[in-house]
């Protein structure tokens, strides 16, 4: 009996909704983005997370068509759009500062893109109604933008971007102009909205790790115009490959160490680690402040001295200068016996610590 292998048709492998293929953007001699290669699948949300000036917005603008790559290609659904103007790309964009048309009523703002595409009047009306319901703004359709709060204006901006049913939605710091309370509400709202758009690929630019962790399927960490690490949100949080990612995503103590099988050597102690991104040689032991315990010096733990004690209501934050040279922060619950500043102490690193590479 012979068996035949049926070739997989080319169409069965779906092209990513968005692809950066070696994209660089330079302004004069300065690199705003260096050699970015990254895909976003249909229905996936990827957060671009990094400090100010790391190239996040530039990466997003390259997809929207607002900047032209110096080299590399931008692909949408497998199609090379690098040379295409923004209005031909069919992507929805929402930026930090709402950018609604101030003289147009809410409903006309939402209808704008649909009218520009010359959709029949009845369809425009139906989609505007649907979009306003989706963002919970039906009651405000006749108002002008200035009659709305910041959060409400941002909802309209999102409704306007979604009205054309773009396969790709680009959000650039959409919550950063809002106050803390409103931000939290809008974050919940965005998460709900995400569930209503199962086929839309979303790129979400932020420097706020909470927004990235709450919304993204995968997080791409940017630094100095480069992609440092990319992975599922929970994996990057629990097993950060680099010290930069460990610190940027959640805050971590970084203790200089030597990677060894199953963990790391710190001074003359060997600490077991849950995960290692480095097999051997110089590395950093990364441990979150809540995963450390501080005890009286004994045979176990890393020896050091308490340098500061801060009461934070729900517990204490201790700073401990370790004999190996690193200073670490530990968050302890209020009920533990808390040593005073100046006392010798030993720091025990919890099982959740990981060994990461030093540099991106």
Ligand X SMILES: Nc1ncnc2c1ncn2[C@@H]1O[C@H](COP(=O)(O)OP(=O)(O)OP(=O)(O)O)[C@@H](O)[C@H]1O
3-class secondary-structure state, position 246: helix
What is the token pair recorded at 2? 């012979």
Contacting ligand X within 67-126 (CB under 6 A): none
Nearer to ligand X, 70 or 270 (CB): 70
Contact 335, 203 (CB under 8 A): no
**In this complex, which beta carbon is closest to ligand X, that of residue 45 or of residue 57?**
57
34 binds ligand X (CB under 6 A): no
Among 19, 36, 49, 55, binds ligand X (CB under 6 A): 55
Pick from 274, 256, 252: nearest CA to 266: 256
We find the least distance from the C-beta atom of residue 176 to ligand X, in angstroms, to be 9
Cβ-proximal residues to 309 (8 Å cutoff; 6+ apart), any chain = 316, 317, 318, 319, 338, 339, 340, 341
Which element (helix H / strand E) includes 183? helix 180-195
Applying CB under 6 A, the span of 24-32, 131-139, 255-263, 347-355 interacting with ligand X comes to: 24-32
| Interaction between residue 54 and ligand X (CB under 6 A) | yes
Among the candidate windows 49-57, 241-249, 257-265, 338-346, which touches ligand X by CB under 6 A?
Answer: 49-57
Among 50, 72, 113, 145, indicate the residue that binds ligand X (CB under 6 A): 50
52 versus 314: smaller Cβ distance to ligand X: 52
Site for ligand X in 187-216 (CB under 6 A): 207
Please report, for residues 26, 73, 81, 149, 193, the alpha-carbon distance to residue 200 in angstroms, rounded to integers and kept in the order given. 30, 21, 18, 27, 11
Which residues pair with residue 262 across a beta bridge? none
Q: What angle do CA 196, 199, 203 make, to 5 degrees?
A: 90
What minimum distance in Å lies between the beta carbon of 65 and ligand X?
15
Among 24, 45, 58, 276, binds ligand X (CB under 6 A): 58
Q: Please report whether residue 53 would count as binding ligand X according to CB under 6 A.
A: yes
Q: Is 52 in the site for ligand X (CB under 6 A)?
A: yes
Residue 183 found at the interface with ligand X (CB under 6 A): no
| Four-residue CA torsion sign, 116, 117, 123, 127 | negative
Smallest distance, ligand X to C-beta of residue 54, A: 4
Question: Considering the complex, what minimum distance in angstroms separates the CB of residue 32 from ligand X?
Answer: 3
Q: Nearest 10 degrees: CA dihedral of 198, 200, 206, 211?
A: -10
Distance CA 125, CA 119 (A): 10
Q: Is 230 or 257 the residue whose CB approaches ligand X more closely?
A: 230
Instruction: Name the 3-class secondary structure at 203.
Output: strand
Q: Does 360 bind ligand X (CB under 6 A)?
A: no
User: Does residue 45 interact with ligand X by CB under 6 A?
Assistant: no
Instruction: Name the one range near ligand X by CB under 6 A: 34-42, 56-64, 98-106, 131-139.
Output: 56-64
24, 45, 57, 242: which one binds ligand X (CB under 6 A): 57
Q: Return the closest-CA partner of residue 226 out of 50, 18, 73.
A: 50
Strands (E), 179-247: 201-206, 218-223, 226-232
Number of amino acids touching ligand X (CB under 6 A): 12
Q: Which residues bind ligand X (CB under 6 A)?
A: 27, 30, 32, 50, 52-58, 207
């Amino acid at each position: 009996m012979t068996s035949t292998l049926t070739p997989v048709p080319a169409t069965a492998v779906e092209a990513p909704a968005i692809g950066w293929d070696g994209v660089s953007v330079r302004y004069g001699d300065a690199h705003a983005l260096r050699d970015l290669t990254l895909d976003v699948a249909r229905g996936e949300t990827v957060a671009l997370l990094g400090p100010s000036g790391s190239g996040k917005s530039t990466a997003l603008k390259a997809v929207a068509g607002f900047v032209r790559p110096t080299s590399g290609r931008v692909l949408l659904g497998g199609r090379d759009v690098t040379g295409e103007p923004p209005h031909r790309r069919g992507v929805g964009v929402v930026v930090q500062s709402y950018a609604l048309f101030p003289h147009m009523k809410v409903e006309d703002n939402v209808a704008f893109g649909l009218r520009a595409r010359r959709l029949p009047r009845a369809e425009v009306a139906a989609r505007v109604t649907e979009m306003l319901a989706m963002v919970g703004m039906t009651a405000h359709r006749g108002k002008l933008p200035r009659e709305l709060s910041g959060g409400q204006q941002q909802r309209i901006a999102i409704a306007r971007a979604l009205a054309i049913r773009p396969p790709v939605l680009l959000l650039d710091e959409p919550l950063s102009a809002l106050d803390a309370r409103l931000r939290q509400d809008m974050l919940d709202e965005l998460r709900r909205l995400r569930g209503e758009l199962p086929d839309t690929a979303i790129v979400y630019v932020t420097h706020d790790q909470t927004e990235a962790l709450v919304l993204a399927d995968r997080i791409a960490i940017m630094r100095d115009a480069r992609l440092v690490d990319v992975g599922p949100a929970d994996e990057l949080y629990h097993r950060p490959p680099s010290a930069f990612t460990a610190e940027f995503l959640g805050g971590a103590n970084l203790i200089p160490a030597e990677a060894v099988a199953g963990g790391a050597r710190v001074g003359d102690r060997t600490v077991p680690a849950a995960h290692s991104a480095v097999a051997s040689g110089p590395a950093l032991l990364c441990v979150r402040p809540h995963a450390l315990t501080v005890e009286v010096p004994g045979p176990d733990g890393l020896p050091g001295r308490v340098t500061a004690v801060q009461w934070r209501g729900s517990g204490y934050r201790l700073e401990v200068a370790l004999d190996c040279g690193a200073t670490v922060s530990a968050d302890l619950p209020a009920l533990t016996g808390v040593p005073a500043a100046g006392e010798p102490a030993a720091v025990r690193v919890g099982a959740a610590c990981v060994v990461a590479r030093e540099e991106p």
